[in-house]
Amino acid sequence: MASKVCSKCSIEKPASEFAKRYDRPIGLRPWCKECQRKIDAEHRLTDRGKKKYRTQLWRKSNIAISYEEYKQKYNEVEGKCEICQESFSSLCVDHNHETGELRGLLCTSCNLAIEHLKESPNIMNNAIQYIKKHGGRNV
């Protein structure tokens, strides 16, 4: 089969634009990869989709937390990053990369800052002194 019509967008596309599905008579999914990406993105916005996506992500990263525990912690911190105190619709699960111990919920920027500063209190203190020395802003 050289081409196929997508059942979602109704556009004829090459067979290579369809994911394989061996339980289907022709061995391909009924909709194209592009439509599947849209379906997946919409699904991740639902609570069920968020639960599945995040649970897989945490498991892959060896983070021992369930979606229910995350939601409880999120509600405890009132949706605010534990460092910058700004509100977000979702937060990162911060953990110690050596021990796997959970620390808290942070926004992406604060979580990446800790990672980029090698999770080192000494480096973080040096960064604070550097910013103070060069006139950092007090937020």
Q: How far apart are CA 111 and CA 59, in angstroms?
A: 18
Within 13 Å of residue 73, how many CA atoms lie on the same side as its CB? Answer: 18
**Helix count (H) and strand count (E) of the chain?**
5, 6
Query: Could you read off the pLDDT of 8-53 as tens digits, one per residue?
Result: 999 999 999 999 988 888 899 999 999 999 999 999 889 899 999 9
The boundaries of the domain holding residue 95 are 43-107
Tally of structural domains, the chain: 1
What global pTM score does this model have? Answer: 0.71
Number of Cβ within a 10 Å radius of residue 105: 24
Q: Is residue 59 part of a domain?
A: yes
Q: Is residue 47 part of a domain?
A: yes
Cα-flanking dihedrals φ and ψ of residue 39, to 5°?
-60, -45
Statement: residue 136 has pLDDT above 80: no
Helix (H) or strand (E) holding 72, with range, is: helix 67-76
Q: Is residue 86 part of a domain?
A: yes
Q: Is residue 30 part of a domain?
A: no
Number of Cβ within a 10 Å radius of residue 46: 11
Q: Is residue 97 part of a domain?
A: yes
Q: Is residue 65 part of a domain?
A: yes
Q: Is residue 3 part of a domain?
A: no
Q: How far apart are CA 124 and CA 119, in angstroms?
A: 8
Q: Is residue 99 part of a domain?
A: yes
Q: How far apart are CA 88 and CA 58, in angstroms?
A: 19
CATH number (domain holding residue 67): 3.40.1800
Q: How far apart are CA 71 and CA 94, in angstroms?
A: 14
Query: Could you read off the pLDDT of 41-85 as tens digits, one per residue?
Result: 999 889 899 999 999 999 998 898 999 999 999 999 999 999 999
Helix (H) or strand (E) holding 93, with range, is: strand 92-95
Cα-flanking dihedrals φ and ψ of residue 101, to 5°?
-65, 135
